[in-house]
Amino acid sequence: MDGKWVIVQQKTFTKWLNTKIEVRGLEVKDLVADLSDGVILIHLLECLSQESLGRYAAKPKMRVQRFENANIALNFVKSRGVQMTNIGAEDVVDGNRKIILGLIWTLILRFTISDINEEGMTAKEGLLLWCQRKTACYDEVEVRDFSASWNDGLAFCALLDIHRPDLIDYDALDKSDHRGNMQLAFDIAHKEIGIPALLDVEDVCDVAKPDERSLMTYIAYWFHAFSQMEKVENAGRRVEKFVNNMQGAWEMQSAYERRMAALLQHIKEQIHEWEQSTFEGTYVDAKRQATEFASYKRGKKREWVAEKSELATLLDKNGHIPPQSLRPPPELRLEVLDAEWANLTKTEMKRGQLINETIRDIKNALRKSFADKANDFALALNTMQVAISGLEGDVEDQLLHVRRLSDNLPPLDAYLKTIEAVDEKCQEANIEENDFTTYTYDELHYELGLVKSAVAKKLAFLENQLVARDMTNLTPIQLEEFESVFRHFDRDDTNSLSELEFSAALASLGLVFSEDEMHDYFIETSRGRERVSFEQFIRFMVDVTEDQNTAEQVYQSFREVADGKPYITEMDLRHSLVPDEVIDKLIEIVPPHSGPDMASDRGMAQYDYISFMEKLMNEQGGGNMALGDVTNGRSSPTKSTTGSQ
């Protein structure tokens, strides 16, 4: 191996190692010499794995103790399923530089890069594909490998610009200033984003082919940093969407209560007016009252029928059953309106009969013929209205029922024409009122229009719900990206992915899980088969990218914005890019946190999002389950996270 590459690689690996063990107050200056007693190596493995390696010689003085320490470390690495060929304890103790560099590279692959994918080669391809996708829109950048493609520093600048354009003015860069561009990117990455400075400018710019392993180690940090950043921003966006949806529900409740109170008052006033009305005993007076009654049915009655229909569906426009806190008070519920409407109908019937008794110049046969058909027709309309307002269950089942209702509309049109013909005969006979029915042809025609409109609206609503549920947040660009990644990893052209290919495809899209989680997702997505089809892959990605706005997802979004704390601060919300008006609303409705706080948050107002979400869950019929329980199981795809350092 060229001596220059050894120097660069040893320097990079030393910096990487120090970032891992600095939590224990340790630092390596000479990678080969400092690892020779096995102590630093054991510390490194415990920091990486978050596990204890057991008893070892903390201050070995004899060579045999150094061997024992080295064997403890190497055996632990092997127990994690890492293949180690030609690496023995004597290589560590005797300071075999080449073997030690290979050992450190193996650990980097396993604990820093392999969470992009499980195998070294696949991890390399996944990371390379991520770099290529992120820099594809920059004409000056062409990432072909992890070596010479990075000499001019533009690839690093492009990665900064695509994720944090506020930190760099890419268009203003001097594209020929390779060292300046590289230094600028390294400085911003370290100071503004917190990426460890593993490389120096000369390690990349001053050589024809920079060391591949060093570059992969460094770029993996970029991948993890930006993937985590996108995750937090998505969580903030979901919180914003949740608050906006809640705001819409509150406004809907206010409109419903105002309109319901007004309609009930109008009905009571109308009934009172009819009950106090008297006749003068003349035909002119009776005819006048008959005209007023007909005017009511063509005017107020139609408005009230339309308003009644609107109120029956108003609370369903949000696409969800309203929680208990958003349901109307008892005196303004639909059951009260139904009772008042029944009273109105009864009083209206009496009113019509009284007028008809005063004006008897009619032909009972035609009246009865018209009434029979009109009542049957009204019953059919009412049945359809009840069927529409009483729909419940799965969207597909509701959609099937509404389509069946729609198929019943053409026969009603034909039957209404029959009623129209009878009505014309009644007009010829000067029949103006009918004791056997409260309906007129115009009224039935109008209410049929309302039914048609209600069916059409319900049909459109359910179809939109079905589409929104199946394809939420999936844009044509996303679909094209998912298909491209699927084809890339479908190496044998079977239009399906093995578990390893499935893992690599998700990793290239920035979705990385633990080994157990990834295996569970593969079994679930493939339905127990050995491969995942294209349709199953796309549906999985739809689930991953979808904002479901469920209680669990909203809770997880709050938790991610709070960085795992049991409370959330205003600063947390602002870091997640939540708009000011949404933050103000959350501060108003979320109760204060009364438990212990972290040192970094002292002096800040803290809000208890957990009890807030538990209250909403209970109001929605969620029982006594605490939202804290949601995190006890395996995380769902919509909460998938990339690996962390």
- At 293-328, the pLDDT tens digits run 899 989 988 999 998 888 888 756 544 444 544 577
Q: Specify whether the CB–CB gap between 402 and 451 falls below 8 A.
A: no
Which residues in the chain are classed under CATH 1.20.58.60? 236-471
Is the domain spanning 120-233 CATH 1.10.418.10? The answer is yes
What does the pLDDT read at residue 501?
92
DSSP-assigned beta bridge partners for residue 39: none
| 547, pLDDT greater than 60 | no
Mean residue pLDDT of the chain comes to: 81
Which residues in the chain are classed under CATH 1.10.418.10? 3-113, 120-233
- At 496-506, the pLDDT tens digits run 899 999 999 99
Tokens (6 digits) for 636: 């769902």
pTM score > 0.75 for this model? no
Q: Are strands 496-497 and 568-569 parallel, antiparallel or unpaired?
A: unpaired
State how far the Cα of 496 lies from the Cα of 537, in Å rounded to an integer: 9
Give DSSP secondary structure letters for 135-181: HTT-TT----SSSGGGTTSHHHHHHHHHH-TTS--GGGS-TT-HHHH
Q: Are strands 532-533 and 606-607 parallel, antiparallel or unpaired?
A: unpaired
Q: Specify whether the CB–CB gap between 305 and 447 falls below 8 A.
A: yes
| 100, pLDDT greater than 60 | yes
Fold of 3-113: Actin-binding Protein, T-fimbrin; domain 1 (1.10.418)
User: Checking phi first, is residue 54 left (phi over 0); if not, alpha (psi -120 to 50) or beta?
Assistant: left
Nearest of 577, 566, 567 to residue 239 by alpha carbon:
577
Please tell me the number of Cα atoms within 13 Å of 491 on its side-chain side.
Answer: 9
* CB neighbour list of residue 340: distance below 8 Å, 6 or more residues apart: 264, 267, 268
What does the pLDDT read at residue 546?
63
**102 vs 476 pLDDT, higher one:** 102
- At 379-432, the pLDDT tens digits run 999 998 898 888 888 878 888 999 999 999 999 999 999 999 989 887 876 777
| 513, pLDDT greater than 60 | yes
Secondary structure (H, E, C), 297-329: HHCHHHHHHHHHHHHHHHCCCCCCCCCHHHCCC
CATH number at 236-471: 1.20.58.60
Q: Specify whether the CB–CB gap between 583 and 570 falls below 8 A.
A: yes
Q: Specify whether the CB–CB gap between 100 and 5 falls below 8 A.
A: no
- At 154-209, the pLDDT tens digits run 989 999 998 899 998 988 888 889 889 889 988 998 998 888 888 888 888 878 78
